[in-house]
Amino acid sequence: MTTYNDIQWTIHGGGIVAPEGPAADRSGQVFVVSRWTGKVVKVDGQGEVSLVVETGGKPQSVALEENGDLLLADANNQALQRITTAGELQTIASEVNGESFFGPNDVVVAGDVVYLTDPGLAMEALGQVLRIELSSGKTNVLAEGLKFPNGITISDDGRFLFVAESMTHRVLRYELLSGGTELGEVHIVCEFPDHHPDGIAFDTAGNLLVTICGAGQLAVVDPNGETLALIEAGGSNSTNCVFGGDDFQTLYLTEDNQEALLTTRWPVPGQRNYSRSLH
């Protein structure tokens, strides 16, 4: 039986103001947003931090494309954007049904499709989940009326979409129907009564890792929705996590109070399908 008592974090990149939404490439570089500075930065294998681009907005999360471009959810720019390897910032989509996005937060990529949480900037406002085709920019609303939809991912088999709904302190699951163009009924996976679930990711044991903002913890939730562990991150605001490394067994976690990208060796590899990282 896997235990998590010996998980220790190492600061891999420091001095990143309000870090979130990391994604790792195959060479060991990790791209991280710095929300309140409007920057996307890169942390190399030695932990050195360098600027990638200033977005002019409030970047929330990045995901790597095969060619090395970054997909970017930016709340202030109210758009899903792309950062090319040359550092050019392009807008893929910013409107749905004739209305501007509220303020995107997190992304999961499924081929030519991005599923995007779009909560806006006000925690109390109602947000939505969008489906965006990268090739055309075509955008549809899949779910609405959510209380700050935040972290998002997809199960390894591609059947279910998971969304952290921060203001209700719970993680939701929807079945992806009609080729991923519709969602089935909502199911509550787990709840955290006192704090906000933020970024989420799966490992290959089928456990969902949930960063708990406000508690400074990483929750490990099994397929039955039971919390197996609450791992302290060393500060009160853990914001998101992603796997990377040669064997996909390195876990990266962003934490506000330490202004840091943290890393640890996870007991099992991360789920490669639908990761924001390349593998």
Give the pTM. 0.97
Examine residue 271 and state whether it is found in any structural domain, yes or no.
no
Examine residue 176 and state whether it is found in any structural domain, yes or no.
yes
Examine residue 239 and state whether it is found in any structural domain, yes or no.
yes
Residues 251, 186: Cα–Cα separation, whole Å? 29
- Indicate if the pLDDT at residue 94 is higher than 80: yes
Residues 135, 150: Cα–Cα separation, whole Å? 24
Which residue is listed with tokens 């979409």? 161
Examine residue 130 and state whether it is found in any structural domain, yes or no.
yes
Which residue is listed with tokens 């910013």? 94
User: pLDDT, tens digit, for every residue of 126-172?
Assistant: 999 999 999 999 999 999 999 999 999 999 999 999 999 999 999 99
Examine residue 169 and state whether it is found in any structural domain, yes or no.
yes
Per-residue pLDDT band for 2 (boundaries 50, 70, 90) equals: confident
Examine residue 206 and state whether it is found in any structural domain, yes or no.
yes
Average pLDDT over residues 113-122: 97
DSSP 67: T
- The residues, any chain, with a CB within 8 Å of residue 220's CB and separated by 6 or more, are 4, 207, 208, 209, 227, 228, 229, 230, 231
- Segments forming the whole domain that contains residue 14: 10-265
Q: What is the share, in percent, of the chain residues with pLDDT greater than 70? A: 100
Query: Tell me, what's the pLDDT at 5?
Result: 87
DSSP 28: S
Examine residue 279 and state whether it is found in any structural domain, yes or no.
no
Q: Strand, helix or coil at 278?
A: coil
User: pLDDT, tens digit, for every residue of 166-186?
Assistant: 999 999 999 999 999 999 999
Residues 101 and 130 sit within 8 Å (Cβ to Cβ): yes
- Indicate if the pLDDT at residue 204 is higher than 70: yes
Phi, psi of 109 (to 5 degrees): -110, 130
- Indicate if the pLDDT at residue 1 is higher than 80: no
- Count of domains for the chain: 1
User: pLDDT, tens digit, for every residue of 66-82?
Assistant: 999 999 999 999 999 99
Average pLDDT over residues 185-201: 96
Query: Tell me, what's the pLDDT at 207?
Result: 98
- Indicate if the pLDDT at residue 245 is higher than 70: yes
Residues 253 and 218 sit within 8 Å (Cβ to Cβ): yes
Query: Tell me, what's the pLDDT at 3?
Result: 81
Query: What b/e sequence results for 207-244 when a residue is b if at least 16 CB atoms lie within 10 Å of its CB, and e otherwise?
Result: bbbbbbbbbbbbbbbeeeeeebbebebeebbbbbbbbb
**CATH number, position 192:** 2.120.10.30
- Across all residues in the chain, what is the average pLDDT? 97
Count of all residues that appear for the chain in the document = 279
Examine residue 272 and state whether it is found in any structural domain, yes or no.
no
